[in-house]
Amino acid sequence: MADRRTKRKPQFANGQKSKTTRLSQTLIRERRESVPRIKYASDLPIASHIKRIQQLLQSHQVVIVAGETGSGKTTQLPLACLEAGYGVEASIAHTQPRRLAARAVAQRVADQLDVKLGEQIGYAVRFDESWSRHSLVKVMTDGMLLAEINRDRELRRYEVVIVDEAHERTLNVDFLLGFLRRLIDKRPELKVIITSATIDVESFSRHFNDAPVVEVEGRSYPVSVEYRPPEDDLESTVFGCLEEIRNSGVKGAKDVLMFLPTEQEILEWSNRIRRRIPKELEVLPLYARLPPRDQQRIFHPTGKQRILLSTNVAETSLTVPNIRFVIDLGKARISRYSARSRVQRLPIEQISQASADQRKGRCGRVAPGVCYRIYSEAVYDRVPRYTDPELKRTNLASVLLQTKHFRLGDIRKFPFLEPPDERSIAQAERLLDELGALEDGKLTACRSILD
């Protein structure tokens, strides 16, 4: 690991002084003294781009970092900010789209700096948080940062905001990107880093006044793709892949990550696999509702070969050690609003090419890997390149309610990356009026729907 001391934070290009929090000078001194020695993982591709990113942060408010899976952007960017002098007078906010990822990222960064989780490196997710007044970096879900906006309209407790995995385009991410687009005009000293897979990066740059883009390569180990559409039945095809993996002759760790669409299917496949494989193999489930203690088991190999069964929570941000093989059934639950039935549904659908590529990238981080796709190459070729942004798949009445809840102003003027059309907005307003959720454009007692 590369070991560096932190630098004094650079002066702003416009000569303005920092206007962040109202921390006492004593606390600022304590925080400065608590900054750990920065240790980079020098084997990660992003290591060679750190200096460039720091230089761009000094001269620009917003920097876009586009990195392939395994580039190290999630864990190393907070360290780059700390080394550049940020995080002392106000903290560094680092957002993740999922609770599991937020906890895991915070733990990895704390481990890399040899500090206790909850001290210099903290985290906050719904119903669980660990941070202190000395926390220089706070890793949190994007929803938690949005919730802070109601208490701190200009996010003065932060001097850097890192929005990770922005390409997922969840509703919370789109709200954050719009809010930050407004905020940078009010706070010229605020620094923003948007990270994304190499997916439509230009749109993020345009949204932030042609912000500079740093492209980071991924891991160099090759991952071959094997298409295995079920010929007889799904079960025999999957077990055929598992048998092939067991007899592959691969030396060292050869853990398997298998993607399934639902928690129920994970439990069913777990039982099937346990009945048919040797006991020396370990089967571990992973899904959003799994208790945190059980989720953490995936990060601690026991020496046995493991088969991890996961929903799409393992698709991004998580670095699971020893994964050499991926089995991808190509399905996921994707929330969609049905205008006909006026109901938000969760159908199981074929994933996009981008999601399939993200899943493939879960292996090949420490050695060559193999991704078995349990569908044909023709299916991959005909699915959309990207999953639609959640804003386009969500009942706009719900979006309008959240806009009011977060006090983001007129939805027509909010700087969404891709604004909804006027007709849809008008329909949403009529529906909320009919339901009694809005009165003169303001939330009524129905705001409890959001809580």
Report whether CATH 3.40.50.300 matches the domain 223-382.
yes
Q: How far is CA 384 from CA 226, 354, 377, 388, in A?
A: 20, 8, 13, 9
Residues in the chain with pLDDT values less than 50: 5, 11-17, 448-451
| Class in CATH terms, 2-216 | alpha beta
Yes or no: say if 175 and 406 are a contact pair by the CB < 8 Å rule: yes
Kindly report the backbone phi and psi dihedral angles of residue 421, in degrees, each rounded to the nearest multiple of 5, phi listed first. Answer: -80, 160
Kindly report the backbone phi and psi dihedral angles of residue 397, in degrees, each rounded to the nearest multiple of 5, phi listed first. Answer: -65, -40
Chain-centre distance for alpha carbon 173? 9
Q: How far apart are CA 449 and CA 451, in angstroms?
A: 6
Strand 331-333 and strand 348-350: pairing?
A: antiparallel
Q: How far is CA 333 from CA 188, 189, 312, in A?
A: 40, 40, 9
Yes or no: say if 115 and 36 are a contact pair by the CB < 8 Å rule: yes
Task: Produce one character per residue of 185-198: b if its CB has 16 or more CB atoms within 10 Å, e if not.
Answer: eebebbbbbbbbbb
- Segments of 359-411 assigned E as strands: 369-373
Kindly report the backbone phi and psi dihedral angles of residue 177, in degrees, each rounded to the nearest multiple of 5, phi listed first. Answer: -65, -40
List of residues 6+ apart from 29 with CB closer than 8 A: none
| 279: exposed, middle or buried (Cβ count in 10 Å: 0-12, 13-18, 19+) | exposed
Q: How far is CA 220 from CA 42, 172, 253, 367, in A?
A: 14, 32, 18, 9
What is the model's pLDDT at position 13? 44
Task: Report, in angstroms and rounded to the nearest whole number, the Rg of the chain calculated over CA atoms.
Answer: 23
Q: How far apart are CA 434 and CA 137, in angstroms?
A: 44
Kindly report the backbone phi and psi dihedral angles of residue 157, in degrees, each rounded to the nearest multiple of 5, phi listed first. Answer: -80, -5
Helices (H) and strands (E) in the chain, counts: 15, 22
What is the model's pLDDT at position 451? 45
